[in-house]
Amino acid sequence: MRIFSGIQPTGRKHLGNYIGAIRQYVEGQDRGEAVYCIVDLHAITVAYDPADLRERLYDTTAILLAAGLDPERCILFRQSDVSEHTELCWILAAATAYGDLTRMHQFKEKSAEQRDFVSAGLFFYPVLQAADVLAYRTDEVPVGEDQKQHVELMRDIAQRFNSRFGETFVVPQHRIPEVGARIMDLQNPERKMSTTGGAELGTVYVLDDPADVVRKFKGAVTDSGREIVRGPDKAGINNLIEILAVVQGTTPEAAEKQHADAGGYAGFKEEVGRAVADTLAPVRKRYAEIRPDRSELERVLAEGAEKARAISSGVVAEARIRMGLGPPS
């Protein structure tokens, strides 16, 4: 089985990224052939600074390695180093319906934030995302709940291409974690934790100092109750229970049972904060060791790109032939 996922080079990865994606990446190394891409081409669809983009890409690479990705057990590379992604993106445009792209929730949300200028690349983002995945004949795509619509679109594109031009692409399946697929902002638990638009106290970063992690959890917004139990009107507590269950390797039901006699939220919030701080501490320590060595980070990315190209070049060449592009085989 081949697993593929891409991650934005935002650098400051937060707890939602870690639980919903990065932990899945590490586990994927033991479940199949794992291919992971840092999607710098996707990152240029919104306003950005070129020098900052490069630094954030190194930050992201170092965090992934610090969290447990092993270049000997997976393929880790920079998206823009493998030109097959952009070529296949244009090829797949022939099998993508304009109407499908207009219905993408992420485009609607992000374009609303870009009032001065909305890049056409932002609209076309899901087609490049489909190319990222289909270029590797991917079986499984680990994603958060918010990316489910994009995986459904790439499935439609693959099926439409295969039907029109012949069996070329594997139709991928998404893999969404049962617990922790959507970690919410600690200050606004109705909204997903995010590096943009969220309150600083509501966003826990992987590289936060342990004391800051605990402080943010102690200040988490909950409700007026006292019971540590999930419910329809308890978004804050629901979020904290899921987070604790993930970092302790247990279930939300077990976490509720464990704290049935807690008698209030204050102690519980601090306990969750300390559990998260303990989980992130080794990653933070390892990151500090890895990040200064840019040449080693570049070596890892370059070797990963070679391995990625060895797979994607054959797939894209076959897609070209099936579409009648270039000389006959």
Q: Report domain extents, the chain.
A: 2-180+294-323, 200-288
> What was the pLDDT predicted at 220?
95
In the numeric block, which tokens belong to residue 88?
């296949």
Residue with tokens 């190319």: 131
pLDDT, tens only, 92-117: 999 999 999 999 888 888 888 777 88
Q: Tell me how crowded residue 107 is: count the other CB atoms within 10 A of its CB.
A: 18
Sheet-wide strand order for 33-38: 74-78, 33-38, 2-7, 140-142, 173-175
Fold of 2-180+294-323: Rossmann fold (3.40.50)
Residue with tokens 């943009």: 196
Q: Hey, which bits of 123-262 come out as E strands?
A: 140-142, 173-175
As a whole number of angstroms, the longest Cα–Cα distance in the chain is 74
Q: What whole-number percentage of the chain has pLDDT above 90? A: 76
pLDDT, tens only, 244-261: 999 999 999 999 888 887
In the predicted structure, residue 12 carries a pLDDT above the cut 70: yes
Rounded Cα distance, 144 and 99, in Å = 24
Q: Terminal CA-to-CA distance of the chain, rounded, Å? A: 28
| Domain at 200-288: CATH architecture | Orthogonal Bundle (1.10)
pTM of the model: 0.92
Q: Spell out the alpha helix ranges (H) of 166-265.
A: 210-218, 235-248, 252-258
Q: Which residues pair with 5 in a beta bridge?
A: 36
**β-bridge pairing 173-175 and 33-38:** unpaired
Residue 185 gets which letter from DSSP? P
